[in-house]
Structure 1
Amino acid sequence: MPLPMDADTRVVAARDQVSVEVEGEAVILSLADGVYYGLDPVGARVWTLLEQPRTVAELRDAVVAEWEVDAPTAERDLLALLDALAGRGLVEVQPAA
């Protein structure tokens, strides 16, 4: 079960996957279950940022800077995406210190 996340939670892409960008979207293959997952352009940008450990706040700020969205909406949607990715083992979640 994924850990609860907030703005200070650190997240990074799991090692047990491979991914590629295709026409602005991300396609991720989970090596653990052999299932492919797809992300839209915003999700693909977040995925690129997750190559290095980032806090939810850093990811939110990047989304707000690049797309027309307010911070509360961006954070809510980001937490939902990260929770889904964590539930599938595609990201590693590190609780805030």
Structure 2
Amino acid sequence: MLADMHLVISPHVFSQRLGEETVLLNADSGAYFGLTPVASRAWELMQEGVGTREILAKLEAEFDAPSAQIEQDLEVFLLKLREKELVAF
């Protein structure tokens, strides 16, 4: 089960919404990252300060996919964000 955490977006990360997708820029490394519509929605909620459990609940309500799959995908996404130093837990 996903732990309830509030993530902190790194100050060197900038984002831009493009339709249903979002592009992230790590200003320190110059690397760009493209987010899917579901990941874009999770990122938007993180920007609002929403905790991980509430993000999960909102994604489950808004997207047509099995809850277990959404939770697993969210966990992988959050770990990748941390690995790329885009967020801190």
- Say yes or no: TM over 0.5: yes
- CA deviations on 1:5-54 (whole Å, 9 max, x unpaired) are 93222223222111101121101100121101110111111111111333
1:18–1:31 Cα contact (<8 Å) kept: yes
- Normalised TM-score (structure 2): 0.88
The 1-side partners of 2:6 and 2:67 are apart by: 18
**Cα deviation per residue 1:40-82 (whole Å; 9 max; x = unaligned)?**
1111111111113332211110100100123222111100000
Take 2:36 and 2:82, find their aligned partners in 1: how far apart are those partners?
Answer: 17
Aligned pair partner of 1:55 in 43, 51, 57: 51
Unaligned regions of 5+ residues in structure 1, if any?
Answer: none
Q: Which structure has more helix as a fraction of its residues?
A: 2
Aligned-pair Cα RMSD in Å: 1.6
- Structure-1 separation of matches of 2:49 and 2:8: 4
The answer as to 2:10 corresponding to 1:36 is: no
Aligned to 1:64: 60
Query: How many percent identity over aligned positions?
Result: 30
Equivalent pairs, count = 89
Q: Which residue of 1 aligns with 2:76?
A: 80
In 2, Cα distance between equivalents of 1:39 and 1:72: 20
Moved over 3 A (4+): none
TM-score (norm 1): 0.82
Identify unmatched segments of 5+ residues in structure 2: none
